[in-house]
């Protein structure tokens, strides 16, 4: 890596890696990375980005050119835990033309949609399944689509079979273009235990599809304005179930959230975020 950096005259490194191995990071920072570096932090789980030794982490990064977090919540947590001040938030951008490219989905039934990684530790899809089961949506003929793959897909399929809901909870294989499904959904859902800055919420709103989300650590509260472009609620099975019912039964609320969806994320467009990156890079 050092030879590559030298031979290609690299001016700046933007480091997206997991950085929790202390010795490796010490070697990289003081021997190999002999240029400007921006360190990215994508998750509220700071153990993926920093050494367990807080003093060592502070030593490694307190004079770094910049640490960039993808949410304000992550930025504040880094400042609190590691006493670092060289942290800045730049949100993940979207490209509207990528999300809204044409593709037809032949799906006539009404449905709500989860799309993302089927990973119980972070996404907690079993919570979503149980909330949906307890809601009025099944009795109204509104199905739940789960679009994606992940380590817990089989476990979740078994839960659906156990609940005898395999005809109304439908698993759809991961797609590189999930957005036709997003556009046709009544609303999308998120029930994560933690996030960084959930692109699925942003992408849903770009598709003018509201979101019903739990207020988990980092992300949703910086995107969703309650009763304006979606619903943001405490992570309680009863409360989230009631939120699903509310979004379905209150037609005026659904229409309002749908109308406001796209304009609520205009500040996250590629063109806007690109300018923030240009300003940062030019300043270091």
Contacts 24+ apart (CB under 8 A), 58-65: 58/82, 58/83, 58/84, 60/25, 60/26, 60/29, 61/86, 62/86, 64/37, 64/38, 64/39, 65/36, 65/37, 65/38, 65/284
Same domain, 88 and 143: no
Each residue of 208-263: pLDDT tens digit? 999 999 999 888 999 999 999 999 999 999 999 999 999 999 999 999 999 999 99
CA-wise closest residue to 244 among 111, 108, 68, 93: 111
Q: Residue 279: which CATH number?
A: 3.40.50.2000
Same domain, 75 and 121: no
Same domain, 144 and 26: no
Same domain, 127 and 262: yes
> Any idea which of 48-52, 174-178, 205-209, 260-264 has the lowest mean pLDDT?
174-178
In order of 80, 87, 149, 158, 168, the CA distances from 222 in angstroms are 19, 17, 26, 34, 32
Burial 49-75 (b: 16+ CB within 10 A, else e): bbbeeeeebeebbeebbbbbbbbebbb
Burial class (CB in 10 A: 0-12, 13-18, 19+), 282: exposed
Same domain, 76 and 144: no
Same domain, 110 and 46: no
Can you give the residue range of the structural domain that contains 150?
96-267
Each residue of 108-145: pLDDT tens digit? 689 999 999 999 999 999 999 999 999 999 999 999 99
Same domain, 242 and 145: yes
CA-wise closest residue to 190 among 230, 150, 137: 230
Same domain, 128 and 89: no
- Are 18 and 42 in contact by the 8 Å Cβ rule? The answer is no
Same domain, 230 and 115: yes
* Predicted TM-score (pTM) of this structure: 0.87
Same domain, 150 and 55: no
* Cα three-residue angle 143-244-264, rounded to 5 degrees: 105
Same domain, 8 and 88: yes
CA-wise closest residue to 132 among 161, 165, 181: 165
Q: How confident is the model at residue 177 (pLDDT cuts 50, 70, 90)?
A: confident
How many domains does the structure of the chain reveal?
2
Same domain, 236 and 109: yes
């Amino acid at each position: 890596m050092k030879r590559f950096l030298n031979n290609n005259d690299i001016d700046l490194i933007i480091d997206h890696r997991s950085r929790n191995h202390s010795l490796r990071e010490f070697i990289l920072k003081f021997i190999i990375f002999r240029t400007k570096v921006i360190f990215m932090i994508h998750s509220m789980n700071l153990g993926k980005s920093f050494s367990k030794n807080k003093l060592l982490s502070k030593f490694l990064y307190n004079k770094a050119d910049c640490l960039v977090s993808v949410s304000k919540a992550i930025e504040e947590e880094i400042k609190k835990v590691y006493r670092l001040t060289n942290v800045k938030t730049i949100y993940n951008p979207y490209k509207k033309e990528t999300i809204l490219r044409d593709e037809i989905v032949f799906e006539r039934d009404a449905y709500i949609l989860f799309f993302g990684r089927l990973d119980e530790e972070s996404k907690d899809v079993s919570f979503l399944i149980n909330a949906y089961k307890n809601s009025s949506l099944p009795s109204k003929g509104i199905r739940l689509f789960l679009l994606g793959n992940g380590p817990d897909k089989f476990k979740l399929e078994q839960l659906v079979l156990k609940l005898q809901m395999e005809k109304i909870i439908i698993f759809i294989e991961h797609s590189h273009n999930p957005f036709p499904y997003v556009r046709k959904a009544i609303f999308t859902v998120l029930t994560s235990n933690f996030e960084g800055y959930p692109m699925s919420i942003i992408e849903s709103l770009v598709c003018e599809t509201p979101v019903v989300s739990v207020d988990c650590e980092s992300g949703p509260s910086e995107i969703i304005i309650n009763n304006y472009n979606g619903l943001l609620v405490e992570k309680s099975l009863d409360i989230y179930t009631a939120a699903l019912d509310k979004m379905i039964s209150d037609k005026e609320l659904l229409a309002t959230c749908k109308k406001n969806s796209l304009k609520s994320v205009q500040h996250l467009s590629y063109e806007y975020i690109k300018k923030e990156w240009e300003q940062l890079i030019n300043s270091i």
